Amino acid sequence: MKFIDEAIIQVIAGNGGNGVASFRREKYIPKGGPDGGDGGRGGSIYAIADRNINTLIDYRFVRTYRAKNGQNGRGSDRYGRGAEDIILRMPIGTLVKDINTGDTIADLVQHEQKVLLAKGGNGGLGNLHFKSSTNRTPRQFTNGESGHDFELKLELKVLADVGLLGMPNAGKSTLIRAVSAARPKVADYPFTTLYPNLGMVRVDQNRSFVMADIPGLIEGAAEGTGLGHRFLKHLTRTRLLLHVVDVVPLDENTDPVHEVRALVKELQKYDDALSQKPRWLVLNKTDMLPEEQREEICGEFIRKLGWKGQCFTISALTGEGCKLLTYAIMNYLEQNLPQSDDAGHT
């Protein structure tokens, strides 16, 4: 299935039915009094987060969602029937915004979270409600309210604890394959990954976290070069970034230190808050280095970069160092639990 992470839709709630002015007419009861019923409520439109959906592709094909109007009231105290609501099921991590105002209407972060997108109009009142001691034959009634109408932008930001960051061919997809059941495409050419992949990393029986792999970034990504800039938003919800570096690039003229610095600049251009997230350095493909020179080469790289944070050396292909990395990640996540907040609107 094609991965779609953005869509624009229109939601139109139903109008409320009109009330009615009616009077009871029966044989031998010439003045039966008012019996006009109320109009029915118009249908509302709701969004529900569903963990079984992972793309917004359905909303690319059907873009308008219109709920039915409520029925008008009738005589003999008969109320109009209310219209059924429309339920739109969306992936967890979907952000819903009003295009015209830019306001966030919903942030769907929990399974079965339900949010009102467009409220249906209330039904009008029949003349039965206007009867009083001084007004025995009221002819007043009210029309139903109009339903709300919005044009919305849906933006999917995958929910993951850890995000993989790096240049094309750094080995991010190989790493997520090595530590989880995810099976993204792996090949020896750039931009093999064309859309985000999620993998559940199970460290122990009751300890696990979610890792996200996005297409590789290149210099100029913030201006639209390459593919990764489009998917950087998927890293905004992560709690930890792993900056995967190929210490043995195929092109001998490539400087890994320059690539690391260039990628950090792209993060800052895209979103300063994203660039400030905790980030660990992961030096990959150490299996391609002579065993007796690995420590020296990796140490020299760290010194040139001036790196002061956490750093791991691994071979995603052979699995060397991956277990140590996943345990360190799990310990970090458990020690730095996210603060609970109220996400979404009801």
CA-closest candidate to residue 260, choices 301, 212, 321: 301
Joined tokens for residue 178: 């090595």
Helix (H) or strand (E) holding 95: strand 94-98
Looking at beta carbons, which pairs linking 297-302 to residues 24 or more positions away fall under 8 Å?
Answer: 297/247, 298/247, 301/245, 301/247, 301/256, 301/257
Q: What structural domains does the chain harbor?
A: 1-156 (2.70.210.12), 162-335 (3.40.50.300)
State pLDDT tens for residues 187-245.
Answer: 443 444 456 777 888 988 888 888 888 775 545 544 554 444 566 777 888 889 999 99
Using one digit for the tens of pLDDT, what is the confidence trace for 239-251?
Answer: 899 999 998 877 7
pLDDT at 170 exceeding the cut of 60 = yes
Q: What is the pLDDT of residue 217?
A: 58
CB 209 within 8 A of CB 199: no
CB-based contact 97:104 (threshold 8 Å)? yes
* Residues ≥6 apart with Cβ < 8 Å to 263: 165, 166, 167, 217, 219, 243
Please tell me the predicted confidence (pLDDT) of residue 212: 84
The CA distance from 299 to 310, in Å, is: 13
Structure confidence at residue 166 as a pLDDT band (50, 70, 90) = confident
pTM: 0.70
**Percentage of residues of the chain with pLDDT beyond 70:** 86
pLDDT tens for each residue of 262-279: 888 888 887 788 888 899
CB 47 within 8 A of CB 88: yes
**Rounded mean pLDDT, 323-345:** 76
**pLDDT interval class at 158 (50, 70, 90):** confident
Please state, for a pLDDT cut of 90, what percent of the chain lies above it.
42
Q: Rounded mean pLDDT of 168-184? A: 81
Query: Residue 339: pLDDT band by 50, 70, 90 thresholds?
Result: low
